[in-house]
Amino acid sequence: MDDLVSLLNTLDPGIVIFGKDFKVHYINRVILTIFAEFSPEEIFSGSLMDLHQAPSSEKITRILSLLSTAKRQIPFSIKILSKDQRVRYLFMKLISLLSPEMEESLCCALMYDITPFISDNTMHLMKIPIGVKNDIKLIDLKDVVYIEADNVYSRVYTHSKNYFSGLSLGNLYDRLPHRYFFRIHRSYVVNLSKINKVHKDAGTVFVSVQGSTKKLPVSRNKAKEFLRLLGIK
């Protein structure tokens, strides 16, 4: 609990109030820091999507389409690339706001810059950010058993639980240390230190991992490199 309080005290959220047309109505000063390459005039004269490149804008649009039926706030993570090519990661929550007439005419975006907490100087992930209710949980890499693709997002499995991540499997794998993590299949990344057994059957390879009875498939085009990495072939 003390670690959580310390983390929340460190993170100042950027706040954007915008309309259904994505026009920005209000911001707080943290937004001017997160999007320092934009002037206040540019932020207010354009739309929320002008602050993001195409992949991030598309993801925000998809999440916004779910707000009308969502029973709770929707947390997710996105990668942003500034004009100076600096990569940063934002943890976001989109919230519908009600007018006195109980109409959902405006939305609020909360943005936390979590880059310092998940990256080192080489931009490798040090922890995986996970949205758990109203908190940001940071999963240590040593606790990750495997990661599974979940549509355009991913699901992180530890020994005791699994967590939804707003980052895609490819995005996560690109940022993980490949000395310890290997993408065995288009849908799976496995922590090599958590593998218990390798199963070979008629040219097909599967792996068993700690804390799970599930056998994870290894793609045929990945099998040779994977087995060599383990010293089996």
Total structural domains within the chain:
2
Residue 19 has pLDDT above 60, yes or no: yes
> Do 145 and 104 lie in a common domain?
no
pLDDT more than 70, % of the chain: 81
84-95 residue pLDDT tens: 456 677 888 888
Q: Measure the CA dihedral 127/83/111/7, to 10°.
A: 40
> Do 113 and 144 lie in a common domain?
no
Q: Which of 145, 91, 106, 143 is nearest to 17 (CA)?
A: 106
> Do 22 and 106 lie in a common domain?
yes
> Do 162 and 100 lie in a common domain?
no
> Do 88 and 150 lie in a common domain?
no
Overall average pLDDT of the 115-144 stretch: 75
pTM of the entire structure? Answer: 0.54
| 123 domain-assigned | no
| 127 domain-assigned | no
Question: Which band of pLDDT confidence, cut at 50, 70 and 90, is reported for residue 72?
Answer: low
Q: Which of 6, 30, 26 is nearest to 16 (CA)?
A: 26
The alpha-helical segments, DSSP class H, found in 46-163 are 54-66, 115-118
Domain coverage including residue 30 = 2-118
Highest mean pLDDT among 51-60, 66-75, 90-99, 178-187: 178-187
> Do 23 and 112 lie in a common domain?
yes
> Do 94 and 147 lie in a common domain?
no
Could you tell me the two tokens for 64? 């916004």
> Do 151 and 222 lie in a common domain?
yes
Domain of residue 213, CATH code? 2.40.50.1020
N residues, the chain? 233
Q: What is the predicted pLDDT for the residue at 119?
A: 58
Q: Say how far residue 81 (Cα) sits from the centre of its chain.
A: 15
Q: Which of 207, 211, 212 is nearest to 230 (CA)?
A: 207
The SS3 of residue 12 is coil
Domain of residue 84, CATH code? 3.30.450.20
> Do 103 and 12 lie in a common domain?
yes
Q: What is the predicted pLDDT for the residue at 2?
A: 45
> Do 33 and 89 lie in a common domain?
yes
Interior/surface letters 77-107, b for 16+ CB within 10 angstroms, e for the rest: bbbbeeeeeeebbbbbbbebeeeeeeeeebb
> Do 83 and 159 lie in a common domain?
no
CA distance 158 to 61: 30
Overall average pLDDT of the 73-93 stretch: 68
Overall average pLDDT of the 41-70 stretch: 75
